[in-house]
Structure 1
């Protein structure tokens, strides 16, 4: 990807959010999802991937520390006996459990792990008002709350629980692992540090003046939202007008086409609130990444991913034991669902070695 330069702070904010608020307005999709606030959960299989006949699937709910009810999919290997190791899976940022995280969870369940893929607070089928907002604190807590639930299942070994974070939830998974000692091993795939990209832009290109202007705009928006009694949402982003960076084209190909579209996903034609970046602007989530040690980290990233530098710099900042695995020729989005190149064997060996 070419070096990102924001001509103005408002343009920076718009472009940052453009990645996560992809629109299919031409198809008449609403700007943001208000469904499922009463937690009337779907009972049909509405994933973007086929159901496996090797695992049992169950939709479950649990509450996080803030009292928000989260909805998740639990995957259990068929014919499993005794207490098994478990893995909690989250991400990507703006996605739902019916997309990439569910695919990872089901695949790892086929390989002998009890797994759980969840919708973060305020998104998907999970609770929380208003809809489609994010917080580095609350979303880190979502991971630990999922751990609370899965660790209390009678067929799970509490001492053998790992975590997978995809895209923006890769950074959240690292943050959760640093603070939650129950997590024994963590994998990030195609990782974003959302606090870094929202506060500094791509390749840390945002100037202090641009950052200050953005904060002025976000602060002013709070008066507007308070007056209206509800948050404003980003306008639909018309993605493929021509001339977009390749990674935006890749996001469109996943979230907006039949490949990965899901109506509850923020990125599938819906939108984050305008003020969502506020809590990300001065809360760097990887500050304590060294405290994950001596528990191991496996960073997985695509060779051609625009986001590769997030994993590379996080890897440098982390303490041993750690590994950075680069998938040849893979883009950022390839690691969402390309099962032929996602290194599931690598992840399986990593967890088998470290959850014992």
Structure 2
């Protein structure tokens, strides 16, 4: 067991009891008209929210998941790779983001450090396929990670016996779920992880009562009648808009998704929203049911000391089997681990995957 804290002055973060976001309220807070997918088969003009590295090669790639949905990803390869077969990483997240944002930054940075990496747009979002748009699914989005493994494991630059996964924010929970069932993956790291099934079914800090959950399900199922009659899902007001008085973590989301720091027109959280009924499948399909089955493969959980979401990683760590590590970053908020390169522990990620994806290790 390994719990790593980079400070001896850690204090518990306060829990906002007043925030009892159910699945419906999460959806209601993140709704707007969706964008159609835009398929591009080459690298094209640099459209990321982070600078392009001159130490890696970049390529836009397209492949299909097990359900036949076309996924679009950004493949990053170290320029000094020569003819070697390298370890590889599938990188996804955050929930409502696109590959041009946080996952692309992680992927490019890890490619600079010697890994072949692929950041992808999940099904129904970004440049990936699937209709209607801006739908999330605990099953299909778990499958998306395995589809990346399918693709990257067949690349000529990759040693398919040395594949790892990085999941960020809401795709951290998806990543853990995928690795539990996909034994081809040899190691997994999650950063500022959200368990979206827990959040949507129980609210923040598990504060939703059975009565509130029942009311939410009744509301969502009434919405299904309306969607069925219209033939299209309902969407609502834009996500991450501020009216004043919001908790700090919502202000932090706005600061990343709605400003030049991280805005991207294809991101649900920047310029669109989820369908109203997106929470339904999350509310009775817990993502981390089989987290123990990741063992004996290693799990690394990274979270900010001051993140409102820190308890997700703490309870996932408690539920996981050895070998497992929990790394708490002093002073860091949830979104600091999206793009603050001086805060994200890339050295730790590098050493973790170098050790556990070592050549000849099974």
Q: 1:24 aligns to what?
A: none
Q: 1:275 aligns to what?
A: 277
Q: 2:355 aligns to what?
A: 353
What pairs with 1:288-307 in structure 2 (closer than 5 Å)?
288-307=290-309
Against the structure 1 CA distance between its residues 325 and 19, is the aligned structure 2 distance closer, same or farther, given a 3 Å change threshold? Answer: farther
What pairs with 1:299-318 in structure 2 (closer than 5 Å)?
299-318=301-320
Counterparts of 2:71 and 2:319, CA distance in 1: 32
User: Out of 3, 9, 16, which is 2:26 matched to?
Assistant: 16
Q: 1:27 aligns to what?
A: none
Q: 2:71 aligns to what?
A: 70
Shift of 1:252: 0.2
Q: 2:115 aligns to what?
A: 113
Structure 1 segments unaligned to the other structure (5+ residues): 22-30
Helix, strand or coil: the match of 1:268?
helix
Normalising by structure 2, we get a TM-score of 0.92
Q: 1:198 aligns to what?
A: 200
Counterparts of 1:18 and 1:239, CA distance in 2: 12
- Give the aligned CA root-mean-square deviation in angstroms: 1.5
Q: 1:284 aligns to what?
A: 286
Against the structure 1 CA distance between its residues 238 and 248, is the aligned structure 2 distance closer, same or farther, given a 3 Å change threshold? Answer: closer
What pairs with 1:111-150 in structure 2 (closer than 5 Å)?
111-150=113-152
Shift of 1:275: 0.4
Against the structure 1 CA distance between its residues 15 and 244, is the aligned structure 2 distance closer, same or farther, given a 3 Å change threshold? Answer: farther
Counterparts of 2:81 and 2:314, CA distance in 1: 37
Is the contact between residue 175 and residue 286 of structure 1 (CA under 8 Å) also seen in structure 2? yes
Is the contact between residue 187 and residue 356 of structure 2 (CA under 8 Å) also seen in structure 1? yes
Is the contact between residue 298 and residue 322 of structure 1 (CA under 8 Å) also seen in structure 2? yes
Q: 2:51 aligns to what?
A: 50
Counterparts of 2:282 and 2:27, CA distance in 1: 13
Helix, strand or coil: the match of 2:334?
coil
Is the contact between residue 104 and residue 119 of structure 2 (CA under 8 Å) also seen in structure 1? yes
1:60-96, CA deviations, whole angstroms, 9 ceiling, x for partnerless residues?
0000000000000000000203100000000000000
1:171-193, CA deviations, whole angstroms, 9 ceiling, x for partnerless residues?
00000000000000000000000
Give the count of matched residue pairs: 343
Shift of 1:236: 2.4
Shift of 1:36: 2.3
Structure 2 segments unaligned to the other structure (5+ residues): 1-13
Counterparts of 1:169 and 1:19, CA distance in 2: 19
Against the structure 1 CA distance between its residues 333 and 209, is the aligned structure 2 distance closer, same or farther, given a 3 Å change threshold? Answer: same
Q: 1:4 aligns to what?
A: 17
1:205-235, CA deviations, whole angstroms, 9 ceiling, x for partnerless residues?
0000000000001111111001001000132
Q: 2:185 aligns to what?
A: 183
Against the structure 1 CA distance between its residues 118 and 238, is the aligned structure 2 distance closer, same or farther, given a 3 Å change threshold? Answer: closer
Shift of 1:43: 2.0
Counterparts of 1:60 and 1:40, CA distance in 2: 8
Against the structure 1 CA distance between its residues 238 and 193, is the aligned structure 2 distance closer, same or farther, given a 3 Å change threshold? Answer: closer
Counterparts of 1:146 and 1:322, CA distance in 2: 24
Counterparts of 1:60 and 1:19, CA distance in 2: 32
Shift of 1:274: 0.3
Shift of 1:18: 6.0
Counterparts of 2:203 and 2:98, CA distance in 1: 24
Shift of 1:44: 1.3
Is the contact between residue 200 and residue 211 of structure 1 (CA under 8 Å) also seen in structure 2? yes
Shift of 1:14: 5.3
User: Out of 219, 230, 239, which is 1:217 matched to?
Assistant: 219
Shift of 1:137: 0.1
Q: 2:333 aligns to what?
A: 331
Normalising by structure 1, we get a TM-score of 0.93
